[in-house]
Structures are given as C-alpha cells and as structure tokens.
Amino acid sequence: MKPNKNWRDKNWRDHRGRPHWGQGEHWRPPAPWRGHGPSPRQRRMFFRFLALFGLLVLLVAGGMTIFALLLTRRMGGTPDTAVLVWISGCGLALALPILAVVLAVRTFRRVANPLAAIMNAADAVAEGDLSVRVPEFSGRNEFTRLAHSFNNMTEELERADQQRRNLTADVAHELRTPLHIIQGNLEGVLDGVYEPTPEHLEATLDETRLLARLVDDLHTLSLADAGQLPLKMEPVNVADLLADVATSFSGQAEAQGVELGVDTAILPPNTQIQGDAGRLDQVLSNLVVNALRHTPENGRITLSAKLVDDGVEIQVTDTGEGIPEADLPFVFERFWRGDRARTHSGGAGGGLGLAIAKQIVVAHNGRIAVTSTPHQATTFTLTFPVA
C-alpha cells in the first residue's frame, strides 16, 4: 500500500506516512502555537517595563529640580532662571531616556515577546501537550535559533511519544495472537473438545516458543537502544563468516528448492572485520531467513563480500518477490511487515528481525541499506570498517 501523507485520511498514518498497524491514537499534525492576544506573562513584562520607565522619569524630574535650585541659589539667579534651568535640564535629561524607551520598545518586541512565547510553549509541553510549536520570528538572532531548536525538540519528543504508543500497541497485538491460541488449546483439552494428542501439545509448545522468541527479541532491542548490547569484539574472518551462515541454511534452502551460494572471489584472503562473531551471524541469519521466506522455488540467494573505500561490504541478494518502493523506508522498523495478511504460522516472523539486524550493525559502527526491484531481486548491503 502506498503511504498516504494526508493526515486527514480516515486510514490513519503515522508521522512518516507509514500505515499504522497497532491500536494507537489518531495522530494530529504539529500546528504552530499561536496565542490570542498578549499572554499574562507578556502583560507582566510590559508593566514591569512601564514601571521602570515611570521610576526613571520621577528620578530625573526630582534630581533636576534639586539641581536647578542649588545652581540658581549658588549663582544668585532669579526664580525664572531656576525654572529655565529646570526645563533645560529636564529636556536634556529626558532626551536620552526617551531614546532608551524607543529602543526598549523595540527590544521588547524582539526579545520579550519571543521569550514569553517560548516560555508559554514550555509550560504547555510540561503539561503534556507535545504538539505545541512557537512561531519562528524573522531574523537570525539568538531567539530565532532558540525557537527553531525548541520546535525541533518538541517534534522529536512528539515523534518518540508516538513511536512509544505504536510500540506498546504492536507488542500487545503480537502477544495477543499466540496467547489466544495457547488459551484456546488448553481450554479445549480441559473441556474435552480436543484430545491431549502430541499434535495439539506440539502446536501449543510452538506458540510458547514464539512468545519466548518475541520476548528475547524485545530484550535485545532494549539493550541496543540503551547502548548496553553485550558484544565480544574480536577479528572475524569475513569469508568464514559467510560460509558458516550458508552451511547453516543449506538444508532449508535445498528443501525449498532455492540455490544458496557464497561469492567471495574478489575478496582478498583473510579479510577481517572487528566484531562479535555471534551477533554478526545473527544479522546474516535474519537476512537469509527473510530471503528464504520471499524467494520462490528455483530462485537463488547469494552471500557476497568485497572491499570498498570505507571498509568491507557484505551483500545478501535474493531473486524473490522484491519490496515495493513505497515500503523500502520502513523495512527496518519494528513490527513492520510488508504483507500484513501473513501470520506466524504462515512463516512470517514477528517483524523484529530486520530491526534487530540494524541495531547490531550500528553497534558495530557499520551501516545497513536495502535496494529492491519488485518481482526481480532484493539486496541488503552491510558495510563494516576493516579490522
């Protein structure tokens, strides 16, 4: 399904246009925060400026009165001279404050208003409204950059919150299916509907294995997100790694009528990367399992490696059904599956394999990418630094 970025569409999409498969709330687009009239904080700032200016005027007028009287008395002038001195002094003394007021008003508009808007928006975020945005005022001053940084922060917070909601809904959805199957099988046995035959017990056991694998995968992802994924780093021979993975899946590939091969002809002998051999094997195994799932009979899966400018490039290529272009940006997301009609019993995984693969590759300071041509081929490319 081609992602629809129109948030008003009845079929809800997430912040990147991906169809939402869990049970989440309707997403609302981030709208810039707009106040209706001056806020209480802005009014308080204005009155403080006004009070400060009034105090300044009183101080200037009183000071000039005392100065005029003292000057007139010392020089023996008349009261008219004192008034003239007072008026002249006040005029000169107030000229600079008036200029300061003009500058203060301009400063108030450029500083106090943006600052008050950001403070109001921060209060809204503290109350849980992550959709708040502040207007990014024209100019290139510090407050414009602050508003831009604030909007970026709230956007990331809203995105993370939505992902958390999606993850919670997706985990609940993934757990619900095997739990219902286990509950139904056990209730059927207790009620005498099913005989406790090895077939029924094996089906129930398969669902418990599925639950255990899902929990293990979630645990792996949580460790990777926290940067605490345990890795036993050591030099790993690339050719041997690919050969071991191919050997592990040769029987399954043969049973499906799929040719599984390794191509390291252009790779220099004894090329090594620094990594955890077990985790790297897990990454490649996930990719091969995914390829076997989508490659028809008489298809081919190839594991290859070569040197590139910035390290070693490992590729897993299959001649399967491919991935639609619209789905490519989402293949490494958690619980994402291209065909939602597939079930676990039909051979589909829990939607965590590629997400785990990406996290492990990133933990090895590597990169992972995918290219695909529908109904022709799909290639996953992993790049690691040379040991």
For residues 267-280, give the mean pLDDT: 92
For the sheet with 377-384, list strands across it. Answer: 259-263, 300-308, 311-318, 377-384, 367-373
| Structural contact between residues 224 and 359, judged by C-beta atoms closer than 8 angstroms | yes
Q: What is the pTM of this model?
A: 0.58
Indicate if the pLDDT at residue 280 is higher than 80. Answer: yes
Let me know how many helices (H) and strands (E) the chain has, helices first: 8, 7
* Better pLDDT: 292 or 106: 292
Does the pLDDT of residue 256 top 90, yes or no? Answer: yes
Q: 17 pLDDT exceeds 80?
A: no
- Interval 71-128: pLDDT, tens: 666 665 566 666 666 666 666 566 666 776 777 777 666 777 777 788 888 888 888 8
| Range of lowest pLDDT (9-23, 57-71, 204-218, 361-375) | 9-23
% of the chain beyond a pLDDT of 70: 71
pLDDT for 317 beyond 90: yes
- Per-residue pLDDT at 126: 86
**Helix-strand-coil split of the chain, %, nearest 5:** 55, 10, 30
272: tokens are: 């090594």
Side-chain half-sphere of 44: how many Cα atoms within 13 Å? Answer: 5
Q: Name the residue with tokens 């390290």.
A: 311
CA distance 242 to 262: 7
Alpha carbon distances (Å) from 235 to 73, 277, 359: 96, 8, 20
Average model confidence (pLDDT) across the chain: 77
pLDDT at residue 264 greater than cutoff 80: yes
Which domains are delineated in the chain? 40-132 (no CATH), 234-384 (3.30.565.10)
Q: How far is CA 236 from the centre of its chain?
A: 32
pLDDT tens per residue across span 196-220: 888 878 888 888 888 888 888 888 8
Express each pLDDT in 25-50 by its tens digit: 433 444 444 444 566 766 776 777 77
Q: Which pair of tokens denotes residue 364? A: 């090895």
